Structure 1
């Protein structure tokens, strides 16, 4: 079985084709095996004997000198003795008390002097720390430590199935385990999306997109690589233009969501007002492993505090005042944009309309450690998730019932996510409105002309996808190591036929160029043509690569498997583990593709669904002069890494703004049609049944 890998949607393309890498290093294979074992049945203590021995013999207070910052280990031991979030309780990174515990554990992992200390610390934490805190902190540490570079994380939807599959699927898995688990080939459950039982709002017909395991795991892994709380002295993200990247990731998610809305005859993402009841209700149909249900939000939910907190405890609970915090922080952001400057925490005035302005604004809105003043400008997204998620106020810090918006694994399931981040993207557009538009001279590439563009017929369909959710059920110590319990889920997911595209370009000299290809709508839900000046934010970046033009005619041919920020289905945990064991025992190979070890948007969703008769969309192709990226980490040796290290800036191809040339307002549509190095190509996307695809393929063989 193959499963989803995740990466930034259209945000950053890998500059080169990273080939599949055969891993023969025994030490690496042992580390990959050992780390995978720590992810098994995360909701139970580990029953591996070596884990139990390490957990019993390892005492943190005896190993302070094994950490590069001993004070970090001392601090964690102290708060551990005070008492942390108990095992079995729900963890959410959007509760400050939970987040601080997760950060403390991450630092304990990250500042371990060597791999052995890191591993022994992880085994100890696996047995003694809340499972949600452990899983989150451990995953973040793996992708940021130097000595765990290349370690493949297993699919999060297999490790935490409760966050990706509806309750009826989990209940069916429980029933199988209790009654029939000795079946030789395991058990397969057919899974539906949430609209199968309840359809509270017409937009729930989009659940095949909003609840897709690959789309949601993309968002989870993006926030594992770029946690909103990490940065500053602890980790340098400046080389990645982290603030601007934050904006572009969300802008692209919204653009992709809008294309899917059009395929289902919906229009613009609604805009909401905090003073007006929120129209879209949400009933998640999810249940936490401890039996607690995810909170639901009714249609036309009232958000202001009298209704939101009626009859609930206030006390020192800051989240009870989310409505006020959200209003204050949004007002301060608007004022900063209009004034053109912000103040740092020590009162220093910082110009927003500088070369780094959008990056500063992104850090400020995300409220990450690189923000000029996190306290004053605030964590807007944290309080907005509490408010819109409609979760009840907790009685204490350890008994919480987070909403779907308060987990990265489930945020994209709620339509409120898209409506809130539309507000965020519009704040960036408010800032961009003060910047000059690109002129024809800015866009023009002297001596280069795009003559024509060709695409194969574009066809989408739904096919079955299999996921191993054995981690959803509880096993005995005897069953833990035998792997006899196998529960699979079969679910329809959107896919498309592979296709090839060709760009015909003429050049008057040999030169380096950068090619960008975007996909966007041509008509709205009523069939009205949308001017590019109104449409630019609806374009999704589908390819971005460097190309060496020769003199004369160039035919640039690419296919739908070459765009590296879209990634293939990820290898399942069970298959990954077997491959590692086989390589260690000399009975096979362990091959890792950069797609597998890094992260990206699911390739299955490269195209929107379209419709049976063919729905018109348009591609925009622009060929620009190559401008080297100037923020690369000094001393970074790309030859040492087969995929970019986070924080190095190595995943950037060029120095253009994210989303260029759609990143700034367009005053004259004709400019984009006049420049010879750009080209609009209209096409149709057809949706077919999988059986029709198979029949068509057979007929041509």
Structure 2
């Protein structure tokens, strides 16, 4: 699989290369880690650290153009800074062109700083004067792409900007606690103050549509932060001459990550009695309403979409001056761009902006198509094929038309942090995935000869009993409240959210494989549905897009019988929850003072789907899913940079090192299947049926391991 994929489901995670936990001892790195963490504290307020205040006063971009490897980048940013940036306190969305331009300009200012000292001073200056959302986004992208900040841990985004992850009643309770906080006297200042708020999901308070019963999945902070960090490592606006993503096959990755997200969502729908993700037509009222229950830091509510929304009516903008507002024409743009994409797929070729013809049905064709649909800088022609997802998010999100470029009210779909909360996200990206399938349909199905691994047979598969439950998860909301300078520096004000999140009992599984000789193999395990919501068996030919990559690893087969034993903590595509900001800061200070160690894992330095969601919820009586095991010859990925494991402990963006092998993403379900029996007769394939049981956590604690 040309790209260990689903870590993508999640995110490509630190995948099958099994990057280990890393211990930092270098003092320079530890100081940089401390510096970066401080830059993220209470971003909606100016920093009160004395060194930050001093740097912000004395640092001047226009006097230090030569401190940037591209001085023209600094000159341009200073120009737009003087002209007028998005003011602090206003809402930022990277899906608005003017906001995106400012975020890109700030990212380049960070990225092209000649050395770390210039980067840090630039970041401190921007921390005080630039719009909070623009600053947070651009800084995050710069940290994960600059070579001298490789390995720096970004704190959990749901702790840095909790407004986008917790409902407004939770944020209001945090405000209320802070207003009543009395820790101002000499005695109280030496104490640690904390408060815990029980956080519900949006369907608890107001449910516009039955699909909001899935909010434990769509609003999970781990799932939404995964999608956010994916956008940080692979921004839709970055590439081309500014950053080389070719080794990472970003176009194919774009397709695969959305296909896997949709498949995982479908598994969860089945556990709750829902069926296929709905199709929609722009001409027909959009059935699924959505009430986000979110509030921006400035007090503005997120837009709401009613049930059966008339998309074509809403964007006529009666009585509004919309001549210069291109978002008012989103309804027209999305249909134009989708038609052009369909035509390109059906014709089999596209044209670049300078008229060169590019064949889509070539070895690199799916990568070209993915770049084209995402409309990233590697697209053959961004202008003609257009930013489909930008206008579709605006249209389906039912956003208000902006008064001007600085006064916008984006919908949940217009932030990566909140997109997955809206059921419309899955319906729109289902259209996108089906366009890719329209493309894939032109390729021949795999034959038995293509899939067969000579001399290898999977004899059996065994899984422990699979049990899920909800348990409490705590996260820090302190950045949602405003603090005075003393509280800012001592960090003693803490507000926490406690929320039920899906989890599963640890389990083991075994794969029994016979091999006629010693040889290297690669093992893929998928989980998918066996029956639809009505209990009807689904053929693999109809069902292949609903399989989620569960595990993927390389294995050295010995001659004879092999018993491959794995446990639920070894699945490389899924990661544990990110370390909290307070823990990170405490660890790095301890390491600097010689009182501890600073250890991080790929979960803190890359992006991955939360391990809590390794299994779908299931049902009390058990819901049947099927695992599909595929053992194939190992074929190394052909376009990777060499690396030193001692220095290179998680995938560097653009290196291709997160890919385990050279198979297409989603293999062998990436192509149409015309004869189901082919996939059941191949000796190196094996289908295994297992039930997933959902229990109350108290029921599990009171039971024996043999029972559950």
Q: Per the shorter chain, which TM-score range? A: over 0.9
**Are the aligned partners of 1:295 and 1:403 in contact in 2 as well (CA < 8 Å)?**
yes
Deviation at 1:315, TM superposition (A): 2.2
| C-alpha contact 1:363 1:371 (8 A) present in aligned 2 | yes
1:218 match: 226
Which residue, 635, 647, 655 being the options, matches 1:648? 655
| Cα offset, 1:10, TM superposition | 5.2
How far the C-alpha of 1:482 sits from its partner, in A, is 1.2
**TM-aligned CA distance change 1:650 to 1:181, over 3 Å:** farther
The within-5 A match list for 1:413-562 is: 413-562=421-570
Distance 1:459 1:642 in 2: 33
In the alignment, which residue of structure 2 is the partner of 1:576? Answer: 584
Instruction: Work out the CA distance in 2 between the residues paired with 1:673 and 1:367.
Output: 39
Match of 2:187 in 1: none
1:309: Cα distance to partner?
2.2
- Deviation by residue 1:77-111 (Cα, 9 ceiling, x = unmatched): 01100000000000000000000000000000000
CA distance in 2 between counterparts of 1:338 and 1:636 reads 41
- Once the two structures are superposed, the pairs formed by residues 71-220 of structure 1 within 5 Å of their partners are 71-180=72-181, 182=183, 184-220=192-228
Alpha carbons 1:598, 1:643 under 8 Å: kept: yes
Structure 2 Cα separation of the partners of residues 512 and 7 of structure 1: 22
Give yes or no for the alignment of 1:597 onto 2:630.
no
Query: 1:596 deviation in Å?
Result: 1.9
Inter-CA distance 10–656: structure 2 relative to 1 (3 Å threshold): farther
Q: Distance in 2 between matches of 1:446 and 1:388?
A: 50
**TM-score, length basis structure 1:** 0.98
Give how far 1:692 is off: 1.0
Partner of 1:686: 693
Question: Structure 1 pair 181/472, CA: closer, same or farther in 2 (3 Å)?
Answer: farther
Could you tell which deviates more after superposition, 179-188 or 45-54? Answer: 179-188
C-alpha distance after superposition, 1:637-675 (max 9, x if no partner): 555300110110000000100000000000000000000
Q: 2:71: which partner in 1?
A: 70
Alpha-carbon contact 1:10-1:541 (below 8 Å) kept: no
Q: How many residues align?
A: 695
Tell me how far apart the structure 1 counterparts of residues 356 and 79 of structure 2 sit (CA, whole Å): 36
State how far apart, in whole Å, the 2-side matches of 1:423 and 1:188 are.
41
Hey, what's the Cα distance between the residues in 1 that align with 2:271 and 2:707? 28
Shift of 1:185: 4.4
Name structure 1 gaps, 5 residues minimum.
Answer: 1-5
Going from structure 1 to structure 2, the CA distance change for 1:306 and 1:412 (only over 3 Å counts) comes to closer
Asked if the contact 1:181–1:485 (Cα under 8 Å) also holds between the matched residues in 2, the reply is: no
Give me the whole-angstrom Cα distance separating, in 2, the residues matched to 1:102 and 1:638: 33
Query: What per-residue deviation string (whole Å, max 9, x for no partner) do you get for residues 201-239 of structure 1?
Result: 111100000000000000000000000000000000000
Deviates more, 1:369-378 or 1:593-602: 593-602
TM-score of the two chains, using structure 2 as the length reference = 0.97
Aligned residue number for residue 681 of structure 2: 674
C-alpha distance after superposition, 1:157-214 (max 9, x if no partner): 0000000000000000000000135484410000100011111111110000000000
- Measured against aligned partners, the alpha-carbon deviations of 1:361-402 in whole angstroms (never above 9, x if no partner) come to 000000000000000000000000000000110110000000
Judge which range, 7-16 or 46-55, deviates more.
7-16
Q: 1:396-417 deviations in whole A, cap 9, x for unaligned?
A: 0000000000000000000000
CA distance in 2, matches of 1:141, 1:184: 34
Name the residue aligned to 2:594.
Answer: 586
1:5-404 alignment, distance < 5 Å: 8-9=8-9, 12=12, 14-180=15-181, 182=183, 184-305=192-313, 308-404=316-412
Residues 613-632 of structure 1 aligned to structure 2 (within 5 Å): 613-632=621-640
Report the Cα distance in structure 2 between the residues aligned to 1:12 and 1:660, rounded to whole angstroms. 15
Specify every segment of 5 or more residues in structure 2 that has no aligned partner in the other structure, as ranges. Answer: 1-5, 184-190
Cα distance change of structure 1 residues 151 and 197 upon mapping to structure 2, 3 Å threshold: same
Q: Secondary structure at the match of 2:231?
A: helix
